[in-house]
Amino acid sequence: MVLTLSLFLQACNDDNGSETVISTDEAADEISMSLTTDVTDLASDLVVISDDAKNGRNSSGKVAACGVPYDTTFTKSFTGQFISYNYAVSYGYTLSCSNGAPGSLTYIFSSDGERSTARLSSMGESEGTFTAGGFEVSKANYTLNGSFYRIHSLSQKSGAQRIFNSESEGSLTNLLVNKSTKKIEGGSATFSVTGQSSGGSTYEFTASVTFNGDGTATATINGVVYLINLTTGEVTKQP
């Protein structure tokens, strides 16, 4: 599948004149930050939580039951060449059943911590609500639908080195997560992102995303094409 990302950036005035507040390269990094952490990690954790719920267990050692809510909290950390992160994440989930058989999982998450790419650093919080299906033995993938929200302080590492208060709203539609590999094999997402600096400079963009299914995503931003590695966070501008 080809990931198509339509992104529209708003140029605006700052204290020294008119200039582009955030570049397409930085916009690609901000999208990569969300895809590599919130979305990719969410998909991987979904497999663990769904398997636990389906098999009647959870991280607290209690016996899971249909209709009974459970929760868990842990940390995520990674330091790589293209992306680094360190944040705490909490999940709450409830398994719904039909005639004793798992049917769907109501799944909420929140996270708080830092993320960093080659061009941007971020400190902030995310939260989301999702429904997972695909518990049938005959199905190779779990299917995830829902929405998430992120608010964070976003800092440029070069150039004007502005600091923004940024807000991002995203939604996932039929995200397919392989039960064995924990990898994303399909689905789509949309993003709406706005940011404003203390000096009044602003930016905004929207993104429409389709996952490639091979561990990468292709992003098109104002006609510029990027390849995003969903594992390493590497963003490569295409010729």
pLDDT-wise least confident of 34-43, 177-186, 228-237 = 34-43
Q: Which residues of 54-77 are buried (b: 16+ CB within 10 A; e: fewer)?
A: beeebeeeeebeeeeebebeeebe
In a domain, 192, yes or no: yes
Q: Which residues of 159-174 are buried (b: 16+ CB within 10 A; e: fewer)?
A: eeebebebbbebebee
In a domain, 181, yes or no: yes
Q: Residue 6 above 70 pLDDT?
A: no
In a domain, 191, yes or no: yes
Most confident of 27-36, 141-150, 224-233: 141-150
**Number of domains present in the structure of the chain:** 1
HSE-CB for 136 with a 13 A CA cutoff: 4
Which pLDDT value is given to residue 58? Answer: 53
pTM reported for the whole predicted model: 0.82
In a domain, 1, yes or no: no
In a domain, 6, yes or no: no
Which pLDDT value is given to residue 10? Answer: 41
pLDDT band at 135 (very low <50, low <70, confident <90, very high): confident
Torsional sign, CA 59, 60, 65, 68: negative
Domain extent for 177:
12-237
The helix/strand/coil state of 39 is helix
Q: How many other CB atoms sit within 10 Å of the CB of residue 145?
A: 15
